Chain A
Amino acid sequence: MAAANSSTAEPGRLHPWLRALLAGPCALGLTALIMAVMPFWVPKGIGGVDHIAFPLFFMPAIWAVIFFYALLDRRLGRIAIVMAVIAVIHLIALRAVLFG
């Protein structure tokens, strides 16, 4: 993905800060959101606890995937859209679970 759009790279002094915003606080927030929704779609398993254990165990990996994606995709707009779509889907799911 990163290599595919070298000709459309976006220069500018603001971009490093926007990327830092996406890879930093936004990645942390999205990780928390994904973790919060995971108990509602991860199967409980034979012990009835997998839906709690998996979000806890994979939390560093989820964050790392989002962080490196936000770091290495050349198009800031695409990063923002992908992260926003994932966030919106999870927010809707969370709202439905908590207040639905």
Chain B
Amino acid sequence: MINLKARETRTLVAVHGWAGAVLGLLLYAVIVTGTAAVFANEIKAWSGGLIGMNEPLSQPLNAVLARLEAETPEQFRGDLALRATPAGNVLAFFHTDETINGVRRERGILYTIGPDGRVISRAEGYGNELAANDPYTALGRFYVDLHVRLHVPNPWGLILTGILGLAMLVAAVSGILMHRHLFRDIFILRGRDRLVGLRDLHSVAGTWTLPHAFVLAFTGAYLSFTIAVALPMLAKIAFKGDVREMVTTLNGLRAVDARPAAIADLDDMLSDARKRAGAPLLIAGWENRGRADSRITIFPAPRSGDLTAMRLIYNGATGELIRERPIIGMKPSLGASLLGLISPVHFGNFAGWWSRAVWFALGAASAYVAWSGLNLWVRRRADQRGWRALGRVTAWVGGGLPFAMAAAAAAYFVSLPSLATVFWTPAAFLAAAALALVPALRMRSIERVPPLLFGATGVLLMALPLLRAAAGGPTWRAALATGQGAVPIMDFLVALGGIACVVSAAMALRPREQATFNAGSYVQSAE
């Protein structure tokens, strides 16, 4: 039992409520999209249709890369980035660095290499723009961008989600501090038709998900603020603007030696890295090919049972391993271990499907906590016109966001054959959000709006596996034959989610004795 004085408890209740009232809807959007983004790689593999192979960076690549290099203009051959896609193909990006308006950008030719060295696509341009225009990963990227920065341009989007992370931290900590009977009340549910019932559900769900919410808020604030603000600030102050010294401290000293040198055997290095890592390889970055100071940095996945993996650095001229190093610094350290924990704990990818499933479930519960908290706030003020308007907006966002996300997925599959997914995925999201506004504005009983939209979401979700098949997506047999279990599993999970949405909507919409929004009785029962 936590026993604060009445005045401090009132302050915490006010901060808990106002933080939710002001930022709750954005927080709800970030949590819902983050819950979907737990399966971002699986969504990309499932939706892309380009079925590849298990561990694509373990296949022989020398021959195909030599052929592609010959087709690549001389100016882009210096650096090469290789990345295993979630669908099991390899992205090979021959590029050079260019500085535009003081910002370093990578420009070159991006090839997508399928199984057996087959080249699936070729595109020229800047790396970030090529990634943003990839039609096969548009759905997964749309969800991730919505979660990471709410599609607000950088750095403001990251700062906004960082503030939302801090708001979630405040809500979690104040929720603990102001709760007088934390452990007793987590089992109390007094029916769902009254305001006290809603408060109980909010309280119970909030308490059970508290450790997870705290960790996500902490790591989310770190991820947003570090990239947008903290690291650039520390680089300027701690290293007095000396970028070379910062890179040397964080990544190791690079001696410049531009003399021509042989190019090492990539397949041998990747094979050696695979054995040392004991896990699939994810990324390989090769700098200064054909020079004496050539280096290859290989990023493996963590070994089974580990949270982080060491990076392997090879000499790109001789093929010898130079060193293994952690996420930052040259040697394992407490600081590197702490920073290495952030990603697996935030993304829930430390134990495969199981940890992601748990993270998904806890994320969904956290989304309910944010939404039910807003509903509580609004219902207690339902006699005031302004708060009633927020109630309608809450109903719109609460039910409309999942509906718009499902509509975006449907539009993605419909537009995949024409490769117009980059346009239609966000366009359908906005159109569906606008459509969801109609019942939110027009329906007399706003309590019926979210279930209605959840029902529509369920119908769309159930249709997605069929749309995927109609768009020419791989069959379960073809996917399983190449070790891509994400396709059948995602089909099953999406359909299951759709059924759950329809059933819960039907239960919520069935006639009850008192299901209308009646402010007076709610306020009385809450008091």
Contacts and interface: CB of A to CB of B under 8 A. Distances in A.
B217 interface: yes
A17 interface: no
B308 to A, nearest CB: 13
A33 B222 CA distance: 16
B333 A49 contact: yes
Contact of B222 (A48, A57, A68, A74): A57
A49 B7 CA distance: 43
Contact of B169 (A2, A32, A64, A98): A64
A26 interface: no
Interface residues on B, range: 35 or more
Interface residues on A, range: 20 to 34
Helix, strand, loop or mixed for chain A's interface? Answer: helix
A47 B250 contact: no
A32 B233 contact: yes
Interface string B322-342: 000010111111111011001
B169 A47 contact: no
A14 B222 CA distance: 33
Contacts of A3: 5, 8
Nearest to B339: A53
B22 to A, nearest CB: 12
A35 B234 contact: yes
A36 B231 CA distance: 10
B237 interface: yes
B233 to A, nearest CB: 6
A100 interface: no
B250 A52 contact: yes
A48 B330 contact: yes
B325 to A, nearest CB: 9
B162 to A, nearest CB: 9
Given A60-B166, A68-B173, A47 B331 contact: yes
B217 to A, nearest CB: 7
A6 to B, nearest CB: 7
Interface string A27-57: 0000010011001100001111111111111
Contacts of B169: 60, 64
Contacts of A32: 229, 233
Q: Which 5 A-B pairs have the closest CB atoms?
A: A47-B333, A53-B335, A47-B329, A49-B329, A39-B238
Interface of A: 2-3, 6, 9, 32, 35-36, 39-40, 45-57, 59-61, 63-64, 67-68, 71-72, 74, 94, 98
12 contacts: A2-B8, A32-B233, A39-B237, A45-B333, A45-B334, A46-B331, A47-B332, A47-B335, A48-B249, A48-B333, A56-B230, A72-B12
